[in-house]
Each structure stands twice: as C-alpha cells, then as structure tokens.
Chain A
Amino acid sequence: MPAAPLLPFERPIRQLEEKLAALEADPDPSSHLRDAVRALRREIREKTREVFENLDAAQTVKVARHAERPQTRDYIELVFDEFVELHGDRAFGDDRAILTGFAKLDGQRVLLVGQQKGRTLKERTECYYGCAHPEGYRKALEKMRLAEKFGLPVVCLIDTPGAYPGVGAEERGQSYAIALNLREMARLKTPIVCCVIGEGGSGGALGIGIGDHVAVMQFAYYSVISPEGCAGILYRTEGGATPANVDRAANALKFTSDHLLEFGIIEEVVEEPPGGAHRDHRAAAGALKESLGRAVRELSGLSPDELLAHRYERFRRIGQFEEAVAAEIAGDASAEDATTASST
C-alpha cells in the first residue's frame, strides 16, 4: 500500500499508519507498547471510517478514479473462476477499452462485458483510458447476442470517463453504436446484471448499462456529464474547468451512490472496504462477487417475457415531472401553474 498515491483527505489516516509502523518496528515490544499498538489500530479504523463516511461528491470522484482502484482486469482475477476472452466486433477491430468473454461466476457460466481503463501507460494508451470507440460497443452487442443465443446471463462492469470523443469515433458512428446498444439491450432475452465499479461516464457508460439489476459501488459515480464538462459549461466565465470549479460541479450533479439509490436509479450500492476499494482489492472483489452472484441467481428464475417486461418497466418509470391540470393549461403555460399531480 505505501506506494499508492495519497489523496489529500487520506493524509490523517496515513499519518496514523506511519505512527503504527514505527511502533511495530520495535523487535521486543513491552506490554505497554502492545496496548498502544492496539489502540492505534482502533484509531486508524475509526479515522478511516470517519473520513470515508463524509466524502463529498468531488472527493468521491477522486476515489473512483484512484490509480490503484481495482479495474475490470483485477476483478476478472478476483471475482471470476475463469475468463475466456472473445475479441472483435466482426466489422472493424478489437477495442481494448471493452473486454468481452465467457466467464464463470460461482460456477455459473456468464458472458462478461467490462470496460477497462488500463494501469500502465502502455495499457492505458491501448485502451484510450477506458474510452471506447464504436467498435467497442459493437463488440459488446455481438457477444451479448451470443449470450442470448445460449442462454447465458450477461454481467457488465462499467468503468469509463465517457465514450471516446475523436474523429474516427464520429466517422464510425459513435452515436449509432451507443443508441443501438440501448435499444437491443432493452430487448435481450437473457438476464443482464450491471455494476458501475468506478466511473459511470454518461452515454459511454449507459451503452453497456441497460440491465435488469444495476448496482453502483459505494465510491463510484454515475453521471450525465463529467464534472469537467459540466464545469466548463457552468463556470465558462469564471475560468472554466479549474480544479475548484470541477469540484463545485461534481457536488451539484448529485451522482454519488447514495443519491442514485435515493432517486431510484439503481437497485443496490455495493459497499466497499474501509478506505475504499483501492485499499483492499480482495475485500472489494468479495463484495462485488456477492452482489453479482445474488442478482444473477434472482433473475435466472424469470422467464424471458417476465425479464423483458421487468426491464422495460425499470427504465420506463424513471423521470421526474409534473402534470398540470387542464384548466391551467388554458392559462399561462408557466411552471407556476403546474400542480404536483404526479412525480415519479
């Protein structure tokens, strides 16, 4: 852990950890020292809980993007018993920002689709920091259709800042590729379980995010726009996407797991180990495995028709609006006239 880059709010925890390391360095501790070590360990646990229970949205984004945070590749090792990677979109290429293949989850055969950001510079460059091109979305859809054909549940791990905004991506139909996935996933006759494990960056995340059960990890986020993009628009006249403005935008967008659950956007928040997934990959993987396995088991009891009806309703009900009564429409069509007749 010592090599991990330190987030500013992790500093008090790190200081305690250094103190602990110093005490533990004593080869022949007195009973008094052993008591101190025990007390310090408790203090670290409490401090960690205190800090991470009170993260704001801007700090959560930093945890979600932490360089040591487990990625799809890590979860392939820690959550699944086997992974048989399947490459290629049968049209253009093999996008490394989205990995697809057969996998075993608790002995259950599934089809895994996972966005991969990469850790080394070489890997990050290969997979465009987790920003998929149209071929990535097409590959995901091809393999999902394969899963449907053989009755395998689909598991999608979402972790992307957004779909890639480049010339080639536009030429090859980024909009169409994402749109088609939204429509086809909504009608895919096999269970789909999704979890946002890090960044849920707008359409690029939703492009593999139409599921029957959608979870978000505790310190992940899921948003219509990146905090940087939002800040660029909101504070254009105040310096644009400066670090301070990005933090402000993050807090305005209410995209953290607690809000998403409260809004009815997701079914579940997957709790992370104290101090975040980056401090304990194994514990994070354990929680993710439990959530995915449970969701797959629950959904496997539904018939294809029930599954599709449930999935349709799941997205159909999302939206907050008001319905004005007829008499008021005749008058001034302004918001003040609207009654709060309905709000979903």
Chain B
Amino acid sequence: MTEDTPPTDPVPPHGAGAQRSGNDPPKKRGVPEGVWVRCPGCGQTVFRKLVDERQGLCPECDHHFYISARDRIAHLLDAESFEEWDENLRPSDPLGFSDRKPYAERLVSEQKRTGMPEACVSGRGYLRGRPLALAITDSAFIMGSMGSVVGEKLTRAIERATEQKLPLAIVSGSGGGARMHEGIFSLMQMGKTCAALGKLNEAGGLFISVLTNPTMGGVAASFASLGDVVLAEPKALIGFAGPRVVEATVKQKLPGGFQTSEFLLDHGFVDRIVSRPDLRGEIARLIDYCSR
C-alpha cells in the first residue's frame, strides 16, 4: 500500500535490495555478513561481533540495525520458552500476480533467502516469567508486508490472547504496509486484525504495540497503531504515506525527522521511545502495571 520503499538504511541487509536476488543462502543474522560493518548511523566501521552482542546496536552511536524475528524472540523471551503458533501457514497467490517476477516465484525465493515461510512469526512464551502472546513482522520478507498469512497469524494470535487472557505484544517491522501482490485480500487483513483487537479490547486484554523500523502504510493504519501502550524503537520510520509520496504531494522539502519515532512521540501517537536492550524490562513493567 505504501508507494515508497523506506530509505536505504532501515532496509535490512537482506531486505528490499535482496528482493532482486533470490539465490543467496538464508542468512541467520541481521547484521551484514563479514567481520566489519559500516554503520549507517555514524558512518563508522564497527566490529560486527560487538553489534551482535548489543542486540544489533552500533557500539559507537546506538544505531538500531535490523534484526530478524528469531533474534527478536531470543532477546525478548526467556530461553527455550517460545512455543510457535501456526507455523504451517503458507502464502498463496490469489490474483496470479506478477511484478518483476511472478509472485509465486517471489514467495519461493523469499522463503529460501530468509529461511522463513512468511513475514510473521507468532506464538506464546514467557518474558521474565510472565506469560505472553508475541507476534513479530519481519521486514526482511517482502518488506514485512501484510498479506493473508500475516493477517491470519496476527488475528489468531489476538484471538488466542483474548481466550487465554494473555497479555499481547506485537512487534511491527513492515515497510511494505498491506501487500500489493495479494490485492484486496491484503487490504481486508487490516479490517480483520482490527476487528480481533476490538474484541480483545472489550475483553479487557492488554495489547502492547512495539513499532520498529519501518512501520508504514496499511500496517501502521491498522493493528500497529492500536496498542493500549505504543512503544517505538529510536529513529524508526513510522507513517501512513511513504515520505516520497508525501513530498511529491506537498511539493516541498519534508521537515527534518519527519515520520520518525520522535516525530510521532512529539505529535502524540507514541507513548515511549525505548532502546532495544530495554524493551524486555519495559514490557515486563507494563504487564505488571496493567495486570488485574
């Protein structure tokens, strides 16, 4: 739905750029391959191992590199506590769509490249001993965009959180918004996930939305904005319309920091900006404040 791809940095090393090459072996880590990595935040070349040790933060400037959904789970949940839900859901090609290559082929190459069947991982686990339903959209898989599988997995996670009275956290990393390739089916996932959140809300369930770089378009304009508490990682790109579309519409240079986490905080749409290593503690504290 967003007509922009985010600017160069937020795109993970195997994000949008890699959409063009389907033959790379799956990469396990978010930080680029190699011993050294150049930080887009400060421009310095930093030791990759140090970045990994800091949950994907630059040791010089705290720039938040992309990390995969799997790494995210490892950072947030207690060791070995994650039980995955609906890992058997696979995307299909309802429109017979084709971009630079047929969508069916793109799905296969994305699956091989990322080692993930789709852009969303969901399940339950424990966070510092607190039971939690957790879902993550991973921007490495077709920009983390929401098609039928992402919508269905999120909806099932929301429904289970409601039934099992679990606090719910969804970590969004979706530059692609609603996935163009599945057309109207993707748009309707916005309605589906929000309807499920409506029921969770009525049941008094807690939903913590964590916005990471990037969260745009139909994902921003649906479940991701509806947290009882909305957290954002620093300097993430978050917005409805892509910055290039906005720029083309208003025909002027965009204000500095436009559509960043800090911009959203200033305008009242984010509760707290939280650095990645602090997320675990923050979520635990919020759960404690909001438990009945």
Give every chain B residue within 8 A of A180 (Cβ-Cβ): 225-226
| Alpha-carbon separation in the docked complex, A314 to B92 (Å) | 21
Contact pick for B269, options A176, A225, A329, CB 8 Å: A176
A223 within 8 A of B: yes
| Alpha-carbon separation in the docked complex, A237 to B20 (Å) | 13
Q: Which of A82-90, A94-102, A334-342 contacts B (4 or more CB under 8 A)?
A: A334-342
Known: A178-B221, A179-B223, A315-B192. A336 touches B108 (CB 8 A): yes
Residue from A225, A265, A319, A335 whose CB has the most chain B CB atoms within 10 Å: A319
Known: A176-B225, A252-B97. A312 touches B195 (CB 8 A): yes
In contact, A186 and B195 (Cβ under 8 angstroms): yes
In contact, A233 and B195 (Cβ under 8 angstroms): no
Give every chain A residue within 8 A of B241 (Cβ-Cβ): 163, 165-166, 169-170, 174
In contact, B191 and A186 (Cβ under 8 angstroms): yes
B261 within 8 A of A: no
SS class, residues of chain B in contact with chain A: helix
B202 within 8 A of A: yes
Contact pick for B183, options A203, A210, A223, A234, CB 8 Å: A223
Known: A178-B240, A260-B184, A320-B148. A202 touches B178 (CB 8 A): yes
B212 within 8 A of A: no
Residue from B115, B178, B194, B199 whose CB has the most chain A CB atoms within 10 Å: B194
Chain B 88-119 interface residues, beta-carbon cutoff 8 Å to A: 88-92, 94-95, 97-100, 104, 107-108, 111-112, 115-117
In contact, B186 and A224 (Cβ under 8 angstroms): yes
| Alpha-carbon separation in the docked complex, A265 to B149 (Å) | 17
A325 within 8 A of B: yes
B189 within 8 A of A: yes
Give every chain A residue within 8 A of B90 (Cβ-Cβ): 321-324, 335, 337-338
B213 within 8 A of A: no
Give every chain B residue within 8 A of A209 (Cβ-Cβ): 191
B197 within 8 A of A: yes
In contact, B198 and A202 (Cβ under 8 angstroms): no
| Alpha-carbon separation in the docked complex, A253 to B185 (Å) | 11
Residue from A163, A224, A323 whose CB has the most chain B CB atoms within 10 Å: A224
B254 within 8 A of A: yes
| Alpha-carbon separation in the docked complex, A186 to B217 (Å) | 20
B155 within 8 A of A: yes
B259 CB to nearest A CB, Å: 6
B182 CB to nearest A CB, Å: 7
Contact pick for B95, options A173, A253, A336, CB 8 Å: A253
Known: A167-B258, A203-B221, A334-B112. A319 touches B148 (CB 8 A): yes
Give every chain A residue within 8 A of B188 (Cβ-Cβ): 206, 265, 315, 318-319
Contact bitstring A301-319, B, C-beta under 8 A = 1, else 0: 0000000000110011011
In contact, A167 and B184 (Cβ under 8 angstroms): no
Contact pick for A206, options B89, B191, B224, B225, CB 8 Å: B191
A sample of 11 cross-chain residue pairs with beta-carbon separation below 8 angstroms, ordered by A number, consists of A173-B269, A175-B239, A183-B201, A210-B195, A316-B155, A316-B195, A318-B185, A319-B151, A322-B92, A335-B91, A337-B90
Q: Which residues of B contact A (CB under 8 A)?
A: 1, 3, 87-92, 94-95, 97-100, 104, 107-108, 111-112, 115-117, 148-149, 151-152, 155, 178-180, 182-192, 194-199, 201-202, 217-218, 220-226, 238-242, 245-246, 249-250, 254-255, 258-259, 263, 267-269
Given contacts A165-B249, A263-B185, A323-B89, 13 further A-B contacts (CB under 8 A): A170-B241, A170-B246, A173-B267, A175-B225, A179-B226, A182-B221, A183-B194, A224-B182, A224-B183, A252-B95, A265-B188, A316-B196, A335-B108
